[in-house]
Structure 1
Amino acid sequence: MTVAVFDHEGPWTEEEYLALGETSQRVELFDGSLHVTPAPTPRHQRISRKLGNILEAAAEAVGLELLEAVNVRLRPGRIPIPDLVLIRPVNLDDPYIEAADVRLVCEIISPGNAATDNVLEMHYYASAGIEWYLLVEQSTGGLRLYQRHGCHYVEHQAAGRGAVLELNAPVKAKVRPEDLVP
């Protein structure tokens, strides 16, 4: 992948991006530019697994599916890789999930990508019509659930240590920050 990335001239097309195939880094496409981040930390992955375990049973109960770190096509040329998504049933062999199939997107805020998750991707997800956005603070497990209003998100609920985030849509689940970060 390194040679293909560094020898590339001009904006990246969606086809060129998808031709990169699977990589050990998280490579996202934003309007012709690649955004590359290293593999997540063990803390990040633990939070993702714990939260995924909580949300998976709730998703299955209402006919949804939980997936981790998949390409989500927000529009042509804009493909981020969220930490977790709840989706309606789709063809699992497609190279990406269409935004219209995503019911909730979750990002775990890492110190190196806080601005991307809090501003850039949040705006992109809302503009693509994804109804629910869940942010998890990696250091504390603090949770913020947002609901889309027009082309932006409004905080719907938040929970810090000692509190419980109760999701009622798109799934019914209770998440305690202590269950994610001891």
Structure 2
Amino acid sequence: MTVMVEHESGSYTVEELESMPEDGRRYELIDGQLHVSPAPGYRHQEIVAELCGRLRAACPDDLTALPAPFTVQVSSKTEVQPDVLVGRHVDFTDKLLPVAPLLAVEVLSPSTNIRDLTIKKSAYERMGVVSYWVIDPQEPVLAVSELDAEGCYRQVAEVKADDAFDATLPFPVRIVPAELLGWLWENGAG
């Protein structure tokens, strides 16, 4: 279960995140509100690992793909950790990405579904993340949203199971949701 934690002053800052315990939970800050999520499960992590590997293999030389935990910190009130992100090498510091990634991916889990589909999606849109992917590991389904000319997300694709998505943003890559589950899908555990 994701928990939103209230602060006595009403708002957290990224500096306060440094005092959070190293307890396996994910601590994120969105517009000053602290969101705490439990460590992800096996199915979730299989998808993250497989997707990150496929993105890294297809990345142009000036880009990279990284799995969580890696911090995107665009202001003193917002620090998130997408499950997978793609950014330009030149934009990274040793500790974080201080600008919007080109792609942010969230893999849904029971504890993060609502937040990933609403709060984080809205935060990524405000940051200017050009492409936002959400993967439901239970189906599996990949939903792809991209910024339109007005800077708002529009869903441009939804692919299920063995169907393929041929991404053009942030670079060409083919993703088949069922393949991200690997062994789990092939052996009927999908």
- What per-residue deviation string (whole Å, max 9, x for no partner) do you get for residues 76-100 of structure 1? 3111111000010144412x21233
How big is each residue's C-alpha offset from its partner over 1:43-65, in whole Å with a ceiling of 9 and x where there is no partner? Answer: 10001011111111111x34211
CA distance in 1, matches of 2:99, 2:157: 23
Partner of 1:93: 94
Report percent identity of matched pairs.
Answer: 28
Residues 83 and 106, structure 2, Cα contact 8 Å, conserved in 1: yes
Work out the CA distance in 1 between the residues paired with 2:39 and 2:57.
26
Q: Could you tell me which residue of structure 2 aligns to residue 65 of structure 1?
A: 64
TM-score normalized by the length of structure 1: 0.87
User: Quick check: 2:133–2:145 contact (8 Å CA) kept in 1?
Assistant: yes
TM-score, L = length of structure 2: 0.83
Aligned to 2:119: 120
Change (3 A) 1:27 1:77: same
Specify the code of the residue in structure 1 equivalent to 2:104: V
Aligned to 2:102: 103
The answer to whether the 8 A contact 1:106-1:135 is kept is: yes
Q: CA deviation at 1:19?
A: 4.2
**Structure 1 residue 137: deviation in Å?**
0.6
Inter-CA distance 172–48: structure 2 relative to 1 (3 Å threshold): same
* Amino acid aligned to 2:136: E
Equivalent residues of 1:123, 1:151 under 8 A apart: no
Q: Deviations over 1:101-138 (max 9, x none)?
A: x1100000112211111111111101111100011112
1:137 aligned partner: 136
| Corresponding letter in the other structure for 1:93 | D
Q: Secondary structure at the match of 1:107?
A: strand
Matched, 1:177 2:177: yes
Three-state SS of the structure 2 residue aligned to 1:74 is strand
In the other structure, the counterpart of 1:12 is 12
Spell out the pairing of 1:144-159 with structure 2 (5 A cutoff): 144-149=143-148, 150-159=150-159
Cα offset, 1:71, TM superposition: 1.3
Alignment partner, residue 84 of structure 2: 84
The offset of 1:21, in angstroms, is 7.1
SS of the residue 1:147 aligns to:
strand
Which blocks of at least 5 consecutive residues in structure 1 are unaligned?
Answer: none
Deviation at 1:145, TM superposition (A): 1.1
Q: As a proportion of its length, which structure holds more helix?
A: 1
Q: Aligned equivalents of 2:104 and 2:92: distance in 1?
A: 18
Q: Partners of 1:130 and 1:30 in 2: how far apart?
A: 15
CA distance in 1, matches of 2:177, 2:144: 13
Paired position in structure 2 for 1:54: 54
Further displaced range: 39-48 or 140-149:
140-149
Query: Is residue 72–residue 79 contact of structure 2 (8 Å, CA) maintained in 1?
Result: yes
Query: What SS does structure 2 have at the residue aligned with 1:72?
Result: strand
